[in-house]
Each structure stands twice: as structure tokens, then as C-alpha cells.
Chain A
Amino acid sequence: DAGVIQSPRHEVTEMGQEVTLRCKPISGHNSLFWYRQTMMRGLELLIYFNNNVPIDDSGMPEDRFSAKMPNASFSTLKIQPSEPRDSAVYFCASSNSGDTDTQYFGPGTRLTVL
């Protein structure tokens, strides 16, 4: 089992540019989460998909952020335009919704916006 796969692992971009982060969840998992982690705010949930449908996007900071899940094996998180305050590590996690919903995290994408 390859685990959750994220790409790229590191992204450096300039303010105003579009950034797209990618995630491949564990095969068979039906829930997918995007998180953002910073020193100041810790691990924050941005959006949650269940069976490819966005269920809760209340954690998405603003309209500059959008996420899609076109199929069960792929999701993207897009920031446009990016700002320096978006600099953080972005994690994707997947789970098989059920009793305990243990989440399996990817390695993360470290985003730096200059």
C-alpha cells in the first residue's frame, strides 16, 4: 500500500501566482480531507469530501482557495492568487468512514509564497 500521495512536496512561488496541490488518497477510502499546518495555528481542516462530494468547506480561508475531487483517486487544492500568508504545509488525509475514521496523512506539500 503506497499510502496517501501528495505532489509536489515543495512549492515556491511568487505572490499572485496560481498554485495547485495534488493528492491521491488510499485506494478504497471514501473520505478525503485537506489540512493546513502552521506554527501559529496548528493543524486546521480546510475541506472534507465524502464519496467525492464536498461536505464541509467552512475551513477554506476565502474565495482564493478552491478544491475539487473529480474521482475517488484524485483531489486538488488550488490557491489563486497566492499570498505570502498562504505559506504553510498542506496535508491531505484519507479515511474509510466508519466507526473510528482513523485518518491517514500524506507527506504534505510545503508551500512558500514570496
Chain B
Amino acid sequence: SQKIEQNSEALNIQEGKTATLTCNYTNYSPAYLQWYRQDPGRGPVFLLLIRENEKEKRKERLKVTFDTTLKQSLFHITASQPADSATYLCALRMDSSYKLIFGSGTRLLVRP
């Protein structure tokens, strides 16, 4: 069966450290993968997109990797800040499909 898995347990880290979140999928062949941030009481907000033929993408303190062999994406936040505390969702899109399939998200807590 098709699955997208993100750590259900919250990730709790100290300010200044690098946060690494994982998105694993099975039985999908995504054309690209997106990461969204969701704050309590708000809708998800797009952060980064990485295509199947890209290994790594960066944007300021954010970095995303995509390994289609391992069927895994890693999302890194360097020099983390308390303001980075939120839930982070990965979403897959297949070729020739309008649908985004979302993971359940991982909650990140950055302690000051």
C-alpha cells in the first residue's frame, strides 16, 4: 500500500542546533516533493520544493534533500530559533497529477 511517513513524535531541540525532519514514502514515484509549515490555528504555508532529479535544495537556513533510491526526504533547519517551532508537513506530487499527498507532519519545538 502507499504510505507517507513522518515522525509522529515531536522533535525537541535546543536553540542554535540543526533540526532534521524525515519524510519516508513507499509505493510512490513522486515527480516532486514539497515541504510546508503549519502553525497552530493556521493553514499550511509552502516552504520549499525539490524535484525528483534534484539532490538538494537550499533557502536561507532551510535545506531539503531528496533520495529517490531510499524514498526519503530530509528537511534541515540550521541555527534553529524558537520561532521555528511549528508542525512541518511533507507532500508528494506524482507526474501528471494535480494531487498533493500530505504526510501527517512532525511537530518541532525549539527551546530557547
Residues of A whose CB lies within 8 Å of any CB of B are 4, 31, 42-43, 45, 48, 50, 55-56, 91, 93, 97, 100-108
Within 8 A of A (CB), among B28-47: 32, 34, 41-46
> How far apart are the CA atoms of A104 and B99 in the complex, in Å?
14
Write 28 A-B pairs (CB below 8 A) sorted by A numbering.
A4-B43, A31-B98, A42-B103, A43-B44, A45-B99, A48-B98, A48-B99, A50-B98, A55-B98, A56-B98, A56-B99, A91-B43, A91-B44, A93-B43, A97-B98, A100-B49, A101-B93, A102-B46, A102-B49, A103-B44, A104-B46, A105-B43, A105-B45, A107-B41, A107-B42, A108-B41, A108-B42, A108-B43
What residue in chain B is nearest A110 (Cβ atoms)?
Answer: B41
What residue in chain B is nearest A3 (Cβ atoms)?
Answer: B43
Cβ of B89: which chain A residues have Cβ within 8 Å of it?
A: 43
Cβ of A31: which chain B residues have Cβ within 8 Å of it?
A: 98
What 7 A-B pairs come out closest when comparing CB atoms? Answer: A105-B43, A42-B104, A43-B102, A102-B46, A105-B44, A91-B43, A108-B43
Which interface residue of A31, A103, A105 has the most chain B CB atoms within 10 A? Answer: A103
Which interface residue of A4, A31, A101, A104 has the most chain B CB atoms within 10 A? Answer: A101
> How far apart are the CA atoms of A106 and B42 in the complex, in Å?
8
B84 to chain A, nearest CB (A): 19
> How far apart are the CA atoms of A11 and B99 in the complex, in Å?
27
With A42-B103, A91-B43 already in contact, the answer to whether A102 and B34 are too (CB < 8 A) is yes
> How far apart are the CA atoms of A108 and B41 in the complex, in Å?
8
Cβ of B103: which chain A residues have Cβ within 8 Å of it?
A: 42
B79 at the binding interface (Cβ < 8 Å): no
> How far apart are the CA atoms of A97 and B45 in the complex, in Å?
17
> How far apart are the CA atoms of A48 and B45 in the complex, in Å?
19
What residue in chain B is nearest A45 (Cβ atoms)?
Answer: B99
B10 at the binding interface (Cβ < 8 Å): no
Within 8 A of A (CB), among B14-60: 32, 34, 41-46, 49
